[in-house]
Each structure stands twice: as C-alpha cells, then as structure tokens.
Amino acid sequence: MTSNKKKVFYLTTPIYYVNSAPHIGHAYTTVAGDVLTRWHRQRGEAVWYLTGTDEHGQKIMRSAAAAGVSPQTWVDQLVDTEWKPNWEALNIANDDFIRTTEKRHTERVQRFLQGLKDSGHIYAGKYEGPYCVGCEEFKLASDLIERAGEKVCSIHDKPVEIVKESNWFFKLSAFVEPLLEHYSKNPSACEPESARNEVLSFLKSGVQDLSISRSSFDWGIPVPWDTDQVVYVWFDALLNYATAVGLGDEPESEGGRKFAEVWPPDVHLVGKEILRFHAVIWPAMLMAAGLEAPKKVFAHGWLLVGGEKMSKSKLTGIVPSQITDHFGVDAFRYYFLRAIPFGTDGSFSWEDMSARYTSELANDFGNLASRLTAMIEKYCDGIVPAVAHDDALAALLESTVKTADEAITNLDFQGGIQSIMEFCKRVNGYVTEKEPWVLAKDPANKVALDAVLYNTAESLRALAVLLHSIMPASSQILWESLGAQESIGPISAQRIGAIAEWGQLPQGSKVTKSASLFPRLETSA
C-alpha cells in the first residue's frame, strides 16, 4: 500500500507501564519527542504527537494487588495523579494520550486480531519457557544470566518465571525474509546503525513464532474467539500506535480519515531495551495485516545510575520534579538532549547539570538576554533602534539554522543544540568586542551603538525561535521582552526556514527587561 495522501508528521513515544510514577528515563523519551514534534511544527508541517500508557498484563496486575486495589482503580489513579500531570508540568504538547484500557483501543485490537486469525496468521499452540514479568517478555536462553544457580533477566536482575500454557501463536517466523528485505531497502527504518545491526543479527539468528495470548490471568483484552484468554500485553500495547489513529475504521469515517492522514508513523521513539518488539514484532504484525511498516524506529540509549539502567524496579528512578524544582523545567528539557548523544547511554550527574546550567544557560544565554534588554532600556529608552546589519553574524546565523535543522530532523539533538549555542557564544563575543557600554559614553557614537544593539537584539530574536522547541517557556519570555510578540506575532508562528532572514525585529519594538531567564542557583543540589 502506498500512502500518497499522507501529509502529517506522526511521532510516538512508547506507552509506559503504569506500575508506578514516571522517572526521568520516561521523561527523557517524552521530552525528545516533544522537542522533535515542536521543531517539525515550527517548520510549518502538520504534526501528530502521541504518547500514552500501557495498562494491562501481569506487572500492572501485581502492582495493583500489592497496593490492595483493583487494576482499573490503580491505573486510573496513576494516570490522573502522576502520568498526565508530569507531562503537563514538563510542557509536553502531545496531541493525544492513549490508554490501553480505553474502548477505542480494546475494540480495535480485537478487530485487528480477528482479521489476522481469519487470514491464517494465527494458530493454537503450547508455550513452555522462561518469562520475565518486568519486561513482560518470553525470554530466550541467550537473554538470561545465571546468578546463584538461578536464571535471571539481564535487564531486571530478577529471576524469570517458567510459563507453561496453551496459547494462540502469531506466525512471526514467516516475516523474517520480508523484514530483512524491508531493512535492506530502507536502512533508515531502524536507527542508529548499532540498533539496526542488532535487529539484523537477531533476524538472522532464527526467529520463533510468538505466543500472543495468556490464559493464567485475566487482566487484559479478551481474545475475541476464545475469551478464556487475554491478548499478550505487548501485542496489545504495540497496536496503540494504530488504534489511537483509527486502525481498521471505515475509510470515510473520522478514524479512517485520520489513519489515512498519519499512516505510516514517521518515528517511533523507543529505549533500546524494547527495540526488538518495535523493529521485529511490530512491523511483522503490520505486514501480516497488509499495512505499511513505520518509516523509522529510533532506539535511544539509557540514563544510567551507578553504571546501570535507571529503573523503577531497582528503585533508582529519579522523578522529574527532583530536578525541575531546582533547575526549572526548561533546563531539564535542555540538559539531557544537550549532554547525551541520542542513541548512546549517559549518566546523570548533578555536578554536570549544575555546570552546564551555569555556563550555557545562565551565563551564555540568560546573561546575553538580560544585558541586551538592560542596555536597550538604558541607552535607547527601551525602543529597538534602526535596523542594522552585521555580515558575519548574519552569515553565521544562516549556517547555524541549516546545521541545526539538519541535525534535529535527523534526531541528533546534541549536534543541533550545540550549533545553536555556538551561535549564542559568538553573539556574546560580538558584544564583548564592540563594547557598547564604551560607545555609549560619547554621543558621537550613537549610530555605531545603535547598530551593535540592533544586531544583538536581532540575534536574540533568532535564538528565541531556534530554542523555542527545546525551551518553550524561556524563549517565550525572551520573545515578549524583545517586544516581538507585539511587533512580529506569536513565536510559534515563526518558521525555521525563515529564521535566518536578517532584520525581522522591527525598529520601534518595545523592549522590557524581564526577570532573569536562568537565575543563579541558590545552593548546589
């Protein structure tokens, strides 16, 4: 199927398990998705950004039981008090939030499954083997490590359970060849390269058919033709990317039109531990149903604590508010994408975050904004002087926008942010070299002084737009303090492709000195 109608940039995060509150690992993916989708919106593209929660399966059932409440009560409570409020607090502009206990999901999952059964992709079988409830995954011997005579999951460090059940199976093995062909034709369908190589070697190692139902518990979506079984939680969860946008609905219905508009997804952002689900099982499910596979699955690295993956089960999760209470939301959004190459593991450290906050955000960016607005107030009565032009700054801005756009649309957030912050440094250097405070001492220098102030203000106009996807609140404050809200219009309406056109901040814009964008930290954390 081709999709010449598709015109929307469609991006998803994993839907997270609601066995507890989000930690900064979940926030890392969700912020990355938010930055990328905001960037694409700012390029003038139509965008659909989906996140949500994975609410079925044994892991959730057990955490609800431990809390002494029903699974539905448990997930409702966590979604309302933790997941949605956390994303709101981090300024995540998702277009939809799917929960796998919603009717729109469960009904479409059942219809999809029935379709696969009817077309001969599902058969009855018996499963016997190790299962990790932490991963909700049927494990291969090679996934396990031996500890004190026990087989443990290498991700959760917990003993696996042996499952022996009569289940329904999906003929996953039939899709090995089509998947190998898919990745050889579309190498960008799985990134970074290390992730693609892992998927290719997994595919070549001999893939088994997959048990897609469970019969020993009931917290899940009933298999439509065998209601003693519930759909395997991963089969249920992966489908969220399609059920949320109208999977299987009539073409002329609202759901059908949405699906035609967004399918296939442009990017599924995932952590590297769930790569195989997304780059093997999921596209095979779609192929079986005659639907297009996602254009890209991008597996990013882990945030580590003490050299290990930060996780809920190991109680090493840092919750976002521990960081945002001290550094603010925008610094949080900035830091992880700036400090860690996307696709690589990285350790979080308070020291590194404090150092970058102070040098890059408070000194380079925040100070530039407050120096400039203070000088325009002092030397120009708060009014932007006549439009001037600096060849070197204008040329650097042009190449910065190009580099940043290329990097960010290729998910190299670090490279994109670095180029923007280098421009910011250069503007600081420009101010230092031109010494407007010296020029201001002699009225004969008025034209030169005005030009320096204009060029700096215009550079900040560009920086506000460049940083808007990453730090929406601070860039909005800067935008308003430059008077640009009044004289140009909303910052969200500024297009990436037009940032480098020099001279957009009009003469006469009313500048006001705002509160410091990144105040000095009181004490180190």
Which range touches ligand ME8 (CB under 6 A), out of 142-150, 236-244, 257-265, 419-427?
Answer: 236-244
Strand partners, 207: none
Q: How far apart are CA 269 and CA 407, in angstroms?
A: 16
* Min dist. Cβ of residue 419 to ligand ME8 (A): 24
Residue 323 found at the interface with ligand ME8 (CB under 6 A): no
State which residue, 98 or 449, has the beta carbon closest to ligand ME8.
98
Which range touches ligand ME8 (CB under 6 A), out of 25-33, 39-47, 113-121, 249-257?
Answer: 25-33
The tokens describing 232, both together, are: 């395997």
The CB-side HSE value for 328 (13 A sphere, CA atoms) comes to 19
Burial class (CB in 10 A: 0-12, 13-18, 19+), 206: exposed
Residue 14 found at the interface with ligand ME8 (CB under 6 A): yes
List 210, 238, 291, 339, residue binding ligand ME8 (CB under 6 A): 238
List 8, 10, 26, 405, residue binding ligand ME8 (CB under 6 A): 26
CA angle (447 as vertex; 444, 449 as ends), nearest 5: 90
Clarify whether 380 is annotated catalytic: no
Which range touches ligand ME8 (CB under 6 A), out of 9-17, 172-180, 290-298, 494-502?
Answer: 9-17
Q: What is the CA radius of gyration of the chain?
A: 26
* Min dist. Cβ of residue 65 to ligand ME8 (A): 18
Site string for ligand ME8, 267-296 (x = CB under 6 A): ---xx-xx----------------------
Cis peptide before 264 (omega within 30 of 0): yes
Q: How far apart are CA 470 and CA 421, in angstroms?
A: 12
Q: How far apart are CA 90 and CA 320, in angstroms?
A: 8
Largest CA distance in the chain: 90
Binding-residue total with ligand ME8 (CB under 6 A): 20
Clarify whether 156 is annotated catalytic: yes
State which residue, 233 or 488, has the beta carbon closest to ligand ME8.
233
Residue 518 has a CB neighbour count (10 Å cut-off) of 24
Query: Among residues 56, 312, 434, 468, which one is catalytic?
Result: 312
Clarify whether 135 is annotated catalytic: yes
State which residue, 319 or 473, has the beta carbon closest to ligand ME8.
319
Site string for ligand ME8, 48-67 (x = CB under 6 A): ------x-------------
Residue 170 found at the interface with ligand ME8 (CB under 6 A): no
Burial class (CB in 10 A: 0-12, 13-18, 19+), 9: buried
Residue 335 has a CB neighbour count (10 Å cut-off) of 23
State which residue, 33 or 436, has the beta carbon closest to ligand ME8.
33
State which residue, 209 or 273, has the beta carbon closest to ligand ME8.
273
* Min dist. Cβ of residue 84 to ligand ME8 (A): 15
Which range touches ligand ME8 (CB under 6 A), out of 106-114, 210-218, 266-274, 480-488?
Answer: 266-274
State which residue, 9 or 16, has the beta carbon closest to ligand ME8.
16
Angle formed by the axes of helices 24-42 and 320-327, nearest 10°: 60
Write out the DSSP string of 103-156. HHHHHHHHHHHHHHHHTT-EEEEEEEEEEETTTTEEPPGGGEEEETTEEEETTT
Strand partners, 166: 126
Encode 159-226 in three state secondary structure: ECEEEEEEEEEECHHHHHHHHHHHHHHCHHHEECHHHHHHHHHHHHCCCCCEECEECCCCCCCEECCE
Measured at CB, which residue is nearest to ligand ME8? 25
What is the torsion angle, in degrees rounded to the nearest 10, for the CA atoms of residue 488, residue 489, residue 495 and residue 498?
Answer: -10
Going through 274-336 in order, the beta strands assigned E by DSSP cover: 297-300, 303-305, 308-309
State which residue, 89 or 448, has the beta carbon closest to ligand ME8.
89
Residue 28 found at the interface with ligand ME8 (CB under 6 A): yes
Clarify whether 23 is annotated catalytic: yes
State which residue, 116 or 393, has the beta carbon closest to ligand ME8.
116
Residue 15 found at the interface with ligand ME8 (CB under 6 A): yes
Clarify whether 153 is annotated catalytic: yes
Clarify whether 132 is annotated catalytic: yes
Residue 302 found at the interface with ligand ME8 (CB under 6 A): yes
Q: Residue 109 contacts by C-beta under 8 Å, 6 or more apart in sequence?
A: 221, 231, 235, 236, 239, 243
Cis peptide before 192 (omega within 30 of 0): yes
Clarify whether 424 is annotated catalytic: no
Which range touches ligand ME8 (CB under 6 A), out of 1-9, 235-243, 402-410, 446-454?
Answer: 235-243
Residue 310 found at the interface with ligand ME8 (CB under 6 A): yes
* Min dist. Cβ of residue 480 to ligand ME8 (A): 34
Q: How far apart are CA 274 and CA 54, in angstroms?
A: 14
Query: Among residues 135, 190, 380, 424, which one is catalytic?
Result: 135
* Min dist. Cβ of residue 338 to ligand ME8 (A): 16
> Which residues form the catalytic set?
23, 26, 132, 135, 153, 156, 309, 312
List contacts with ligand ME8 (CB under 6 A).
14-17, 25-26, 28-29, 54, 237-238, 240, 270-271, 273-274, 302-303, 309-310
